[in-house]
Every structure is written in structure tokens, then in C-alpha cells.
């Protein structure tokens, strides 16, 4: 198994991607018997009406699908409504009697299907009787008993087969690139202007003898944007320690503050300057949103920083912070995945990491091979998905049946 995995990882990436795309397109379109589910069904017929019933496929139970057709045209012309009646099979049944049947639904005659969810219990057999009535509610025809029909839940939703296949492919691609990164393979990551400007901003602060202010956002430690921000901060702190500059980090959330305190301290140790770390420069400010913004605005006014970093998750305070920083003449680098706040940072800051670029910067600056491999793998997953969509689009234009169902419902089977 180990030898096989090593051989797989030595195969050129382009060859693997082409193979995966072709396999995906074929798998998503062709039916997969392995995942076909058994559906409990039954049917009944008379000279006037045909009724077919079965357990609703791909559901959690508690539902029976009914399909009926009126064969007698003379009765069909007079019929105004169709009354669906139901009882538990074998419960007080008498030949041809409908006394024990209870009305479930009254449908228009044009309706051909009905999904019965009203009080259906899994594993219990149900019998149905159909009545055809005219506009005056006179009974034109009463069907014999049809059934039994039994509802049951399914362990697998066949309509999600496409999602399952794409998930497996995505996981495989990401694990492939993580493995390549751990082996020391040089993975190209598109350079971001904001990342390249960080060292210049720190150098400018050092030359001017002014501090840098780092704002990690106002979210909690379990937010992905906060984690990305902390990863970026680790690298920035190391650069600042090497340049013998100063960084001030006011925090909004207590747990984030505790983590950042350790991260910055370790960065100074890694740079060989543990004595230069000032614990009073990393502190908890407040947990009130606008009090936090006001406190930072005051800090910027007093310290006159040379560089401001706004990296994390922000809300309405983003413009207050960015404008206050812009008034000090500092270089400002921002990044957030909060879509509504991105325009404010773009207007008021020199460099802005937009959305996913924040995560990319965290992986890039963190230097972790697993993060870099995961980042590169996600890019290739997007490439594979785009190619699949283009292939399916042209198949649809060529008139291949089932593509629209696949694209909309995720099944196609």
C-alpha cells in the first residue's frame, strides 16, 4: 500500500487532473447501481382507475408516493375531485367496505400524483381507496382497496451521488498537494501585493522610529478569519523583532488576546530577541464594538503609527478605524472576509486582502507545508470543478439527456 501511494504521488499533476476530470464526468452522468435503494411499492388496477404507490425515495421516512390514472373516459369527463382515503392495512377490513377509511386529501381531477405525509409511520402497511366525485360531491366511483404500501427511511440519498463523488475527488486532490508540500516540492503561490508590502511597512516604521498597530478583528478564536490573522501576525511579529521595531496590539476578545500574547512572544523568541518583547504592548482593550473603535482611534492619534494592519473579521467599526488611521498618514494594510466591509477598506487603505486572499496570506506567511499544500489543492479543486461545469455545459448544448437534472439536483440518476 505504501509503495502504491508513493507511485501515485510521483505521477505528474496534470495527468492526475485530466484523469480525475474524465472520471468525474463519466461517473456523474452514468447511473451507479451500487447506490440504488430498494423501494417498497405496490400497484392496483380496475377497469376505471389505476393506482400505483411506493415509499418516497431518498427521504427520511414518513411518506408514501401515490400515482393514479382514470382509464374510463366517460367517468373522467364527469369527475370534478379525487378523494384519497387511507387506513392501516388489515385493521377492521371488510369486503368492499370503506367505513374504516379516513379521508386524507381531496384533489383536483387534473392532479395525477400525491405525496402522503399526513400521519404516516414507518414500517406500517397502509391501504388506500380512491373516490371520484362530481361538482355536486356525488360519488361516481369508489375504487377497491389498493396496497399495502409501506414507508421506510433510506440511509443514502442517491440524488447526492454527484456531491459524494466531487467530495472524494476534492479530498484526494487536497491530500495530494499536502503530501507534495511535505515532500519539499516547490508549490507556486501567486504573490499578493498586501503581503509584499508588509515588510516595507515595517521597515518604514523602523526608519521613522514609530510603532505599528495591529488590529486582529472583533471575532472569536474559532473564526477562520481570526486564525488567518493570527498566522499573519506571527510572521509580522518576527519581522518587527528582527527590525527592532515596535508593535501595539489592542484586543477585542479575551481568548484571542491570550493566544496573540503567546504568538507574539514566541515570534520574538524565534527571532532571538525575547528581551525586546513588551507585554504592555499586547493588551485587552474592551469587548464593546464602538468603544473598541474609539479606543483604537485615540491610540492612533497619540502614537502616530507608521503602519496599521487591519486583518480579521470586522463590522461597522471598519470605516472608523480605517479613517482614523488614514488621518495619521500611516501605511495601511487591511484584509477581511466580511463582504460588507471590504469596500470601506479598499477606499481608506493602501492595500486590501479581499475575502479568500486573507486565508491565502495566512497560509503563505505561516510557512506551514500542510497549509500551503491545502491552499494549492483548493485552487486545483476549483479548476477541476470549472472544467467539469464547462464539459457538462457543452454536453447539454449537444442535447445529451439528464444533464439539466444533474446540474440542478445533483443527481442525474
Domain of 106, CATH number, reads: 2.60.40.10
Same domain for 256 and 298, yes or no, is yes
Same domain for 174 and 91, yes or no, is no
User: What mean pLDDT is predicted for residues 384-391?
Assistant: 89
Same domain for 298 and 351, yes or no, is yes
Same domain for 262 and 363, yes or no, is yes
Report pLDDT for 218. 94
Report pLDDT for 97. 58
pTM beyond cutoff 0.85: no
Give the domain CATH number at 239.
Answer: 3.40.50
Same domain for 146 and 224, yes or no, is no
Cβ count near 301 (within 10 Å): 11
The range of the structural domain enclosing residue 14 comes to: 1-34+156-185+370-413
Provide the pLDDT confidence category of residue 48 given band limits of 50, 70 and 90. Answer: confident
Alpha carbon distance 336, 355 (integer Å): 6
Alpha carbon distance 54, 70 (integer Å): 19
Provide the pLDDT confidence category of residue 396 given band limits of 50, 70 and 90. Answer: confident
Report pLDDT for 15. 52
Domain end position, chosen among 98, 124, 150: 150
Same domain for 95 and 204, yes or no, is no
Task: Please state whether the peptide bond connecting residue 296 to the residue before it is cis, i.e. omega within 30 degrees of 0.
Answer: no
Computed over every residue of the chain, the mean pLDDT equals 83
Same domain for 218 and 280, yes or no, is yes
Domain end position, chosen among 124, 150, 176: 150
Beta-bridged to residue 250, according to DSSP, are 283
pLDDT greater than 50 at residue 33:
no
Same domain for 228 and 321, yes or no, is yes
Same domain for 232 and 339, yes or no, is yes
Residue 170, C-beta contacts closer than 8 angstroms, at least 6 positions apart: 381, 384
Q: What is the chain's Cα-based Rg?
A: 33
Sort strands 81-88 and 125-133 into parallel, antiparallel or unpaired.
antiparallel
| Structural domains counted in the chain | 3
Phi then psi for residue 85, to 5 deg, are: -125, 150
Same domain for 170 and 274, yes or no, is no
Same domain for 328 and 271, yes or no, is yes
Report pLDDT for 350. 93
Alpha carbon distance 282, 275 (integer Å): 15
Same domain for 200 and 326, yes or no, is yes
Amino acid at each position: 500500500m505504501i509503495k502504491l501511494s508513493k507511485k501515485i504521488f510521483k505521477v505528474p499533476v496534470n495527468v492526475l487532473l485530466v484523469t480525475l476530470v474524465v472520471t468525474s464526468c463519466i461517473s456523474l452522468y452514468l447511473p451507479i447501481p451500487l447506490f440504488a435503494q430498494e423501494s417498497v411499492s405496490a400497484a392496483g388496477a380496475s377497469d376505471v382507475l389505476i393506482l400505483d404507490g411506493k415509499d418516497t425515495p431518498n427521504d427520511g421516512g414518513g411518506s408514501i408516493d401515490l400515482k393514479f390514472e382514470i382509464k374510463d373516459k366517460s367517468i373522467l369527463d364527469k369527475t370534478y375531485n379525487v378523494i384519497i382515503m387511507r387506513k392501516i392495512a388489515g385493521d377492521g377490513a371488510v369486503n368492499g367496505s370503506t367505513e374504516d377509511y379516513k379521508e386524507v386529501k381531496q384533489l383536483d381531477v387534473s392532479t395525477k400524483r400525491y405525496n402522503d405525509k399526513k400521519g404516516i409511520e414507518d414500517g406500517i402497511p397502509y391501504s388506500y381507496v380512491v373516490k371520484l366525485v362530481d361538482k355536486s360531491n356525488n360519488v361516481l366511483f369508489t375504487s377497491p382497496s389498493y396496497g399495502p404500501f409501506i414507508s421506510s427511511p433510506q440511509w443514502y440519498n442517491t440524488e447526492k451521488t454527484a456531491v459524494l463523488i466531487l467530495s472524494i475527488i476534492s479530498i484526494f486532490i487536497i491530500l495530494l498537494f499536502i503530501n507534495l508540500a511535505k515532500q519539499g516540492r516547490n508549490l507556486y503561490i501567486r504573490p499578493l501585493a498586501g503581503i509584499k508590502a508588509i515588510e516595507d511597512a515595517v521597515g518604514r516604521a523602523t526608519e521613522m522610529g514609530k510603532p505599528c498597530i495591529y488590529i486582529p478583528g472583533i471575532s472569536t478564536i474559532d473564526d477562520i478569519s481570526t486564525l488567518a490573522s493570527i498566522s499573519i501576525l506571527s510572521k509580522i511579529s518576527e519581522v518587527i523583532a528582527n527590525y527592532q521595531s515596535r508593535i501595539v496590539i489592542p484586543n477585542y476578545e479575551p481568548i484571542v488576546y491570550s493566544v496573540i500574547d503567546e504568538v507574539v512572544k514566541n515570534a520574538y523568541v524565534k527571532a532571538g530577541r525575547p528581551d525586546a518583547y513588551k507585554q504592555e504592548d499586547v493588551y485587552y482593550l474592551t469587548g464593546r464594538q464602538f468603544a473598541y473603535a474609539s479606543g483604537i482611534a485615540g491610540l492612533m492619534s497619540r502614537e502616530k503609527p507608521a503602519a496599521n494592519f487591519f486583518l480579521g473579521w470586522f463590522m461597522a467599526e471598519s470605516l472608523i478605524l480605517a479613517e482614523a488611521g488614514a488621518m495619521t498618514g500611516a501605511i495601511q494594510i487591511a484584509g477581511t472576509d466580511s463582504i460588507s466591509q471590504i469596500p470601506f477598506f479598499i477606499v481608506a487603505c493602501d492595500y486590501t486582502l479581499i475575502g479568500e486572499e486573507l486565508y491565502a496570506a495566512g497560509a503563505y506567511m505561516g510557512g506551514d507545508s500542510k497549509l500551503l499544500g491545502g491552499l494549492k489543492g483548493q485552487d486545483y479543486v476549483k479548476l477541476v470543478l470549472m472544467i467539469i461545469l464547462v464539459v457538462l455545459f457543452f454536453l447539454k448544448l449537444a442535447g445529451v439527456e439528464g444533464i439539466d437534472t444533474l446540474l440542478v439536483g445533483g443527481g442525474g440518476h
